[in-house]
């Protein structure tokens, strides 16, 4: 219930703090619709996750490539946590730090009014994150894939201090990876918007590599740590990374302050496609 309570609190807080302002900020109707959609996805995820946890895993045998990657990238399995990210608390701390950095940028380099910028930035960040979690939990409950530790080393999994059969069949996709890539993408886009606005063209060109290199390097390490800890396969973290990136691109684009023709400091898209003949 903590996730749902947080979602409702953020939606209610922002709905009273972000009146429409010349098209730059979400109005109450837009915030209400996003909040309701987020709550709906969270509830759906909790329901499908509980349903999946009550049944035997549907997917127990990994493809050969996933098995090969896990056995070659990860050390011998053990029942104890392998690394710092091998807990839900670590994932929550990671997301909190990234969202705090977004808030700091909105406070120090507002695109409009500082207070409204912070509230809108945080609302969109957490609405996207919780929507992503709702979809992720729905997929985990529906697919019910067994984690590598339970699938490849059941005798080791049985020696854990606390055995959670529901946890063992929630491998696809990786929530740690999706949240890390979500937060890194959102922060990268906000940071590059600030850099484009505050730096000259030459300075921006010299330093534009730093933000995505650091942030996506960190997100990639988080994804690797899940393979290293026998918690996810390569396919789990890869799909999670793509899902997190897409969700961040979508929810960041809902901010009219950085839309085309809006704020002149709009960050350039991370990936663009062009064709010439």
What are the structural domains, with CATH classification, of the chain?
A: 2-163+171-258 (1.20.144)
- What is the model's pLDDT at position 90? 83
| pLDDT tens digit at each of 277 positions of the chain | 555 555 555 555 455 444 445 457 888 888 999 999 999 999 999 999 888 777 888 888 899 999 999 989 888 888 888 888 887 788 888 899 999 999 999 999 988 889 999 999 999 999 999 999 999 999 999 999 999 999 999 888 888 877 677 788 889 999 999 999 999 999 999 999 999 989 888 898 899 899 999 999 999 999 999 999 899 999 999 999 999 999 999 999 998 776 544 443 444 444 433 333 2
CA distance 72 to 80: 19
Provide the mean pLDDT of the chain.
Answer: 84
The pair of three-digit structure tokens given for residue 244, joined into one six-digit string: 């997190």
CA distance 130 to 235: 22
The pair of three-digit structure tokens given for residue 153, joined into one six-digit string: 């080393």
Q: Sign of dihedral through CA atoms 2, 42, 254, 215?
A: positive
Residue in the structure block whose two tokens are 């349903």: 51
Q: Are 47 and 139 in contact (CB under 8 A)?
A: no
7-33: per-residue pLDDT in tens? 555 555 455 444 445 457 888 888 999
For residue 204, the SS3 value is helix
The pair of three-digit structure tokens given for residue 64, joined into one six-digit string: 């050969």
Q: To the nearest 10°, the Cα dihedral for 91, 165, 147, 229?
A: 50
The pair of three-digit structure tokens given for residue 274, joined into one six-digit string: 């062009």
Helix residue spans in 109-199 (DSSP H): 114-143, 148-152, 154-157, 165-168, 175-198
Is the previous residue joined to 173 through a cis bond, with omega within 30 degrees of 0?
A: yes
- What is the model's pLDDT at position 66? 95
The pair of three-digit structure tokens given for residue 7, joined into one six-digit string: 């979602």
pTM of the model: 0.85
Nearest C-alpha neighbor of 109 from the set 195, 11, 215 = 195
Coarse DSSP helix, strand, coil percentages of the chain, rounded to the nearest 5 percent: 70, 0, 30
């Amino acid at each position: 219930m903590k996730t749902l309570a947080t979602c409702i609190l953020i939606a209610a807080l922002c709905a009273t703090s972000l009146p429409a302002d010349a098209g730059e900020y979400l109005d109450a109707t837009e915030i209400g619709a996003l909040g309701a959609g987020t709550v709906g996805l969270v509830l759906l995820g909790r329901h499908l996750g509980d349903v999946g946890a009550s049944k035997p895993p549907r997917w127990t045998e990994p493809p050969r490539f996933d098995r090969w990657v896990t056995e070659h990238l990860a050390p011998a399995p053990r029942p104890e946590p392998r690394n710092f990210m091998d807990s839900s608390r670590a994932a929550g701390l990671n997301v909190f730090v990234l969202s705090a950095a977004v808030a700091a940028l909105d406070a120090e380099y507002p695109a409009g009014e500082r207070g409204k910028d912070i509230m809108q930035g945080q609302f969109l960040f957490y609405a996207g994150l919780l929507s992503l979690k709702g979809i992720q939990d729905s997929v985990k409950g529906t697919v019910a894939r067994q984690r590598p530790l339970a699938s490849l080393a059941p005798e080791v999994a049985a020696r854990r201090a606390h055995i959670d059969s529901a946890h063992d069949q929630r491998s696809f996709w990786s929530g740690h990876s999706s949240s890390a890539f979500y937060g890194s993408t959102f922060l990268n886009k906000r940071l590059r918007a600030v850099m484009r606005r505050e730096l000259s063209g030459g300075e921006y060109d010299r330093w534009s590599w730093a933000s995505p290199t650091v942030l996506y390097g960190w997100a990639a390490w988080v994804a690797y740590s899940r393979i290293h800890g026998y918690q996810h396969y390569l396919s789990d973290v890869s799909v999670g990374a793509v899902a997190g990136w897409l969700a961040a691109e979508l929810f960041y684009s809902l901010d009219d302050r950085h839309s085309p023709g809006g704020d002149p400091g709009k960050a350039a898209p991370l990936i663009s496609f062009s064709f010439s003949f």
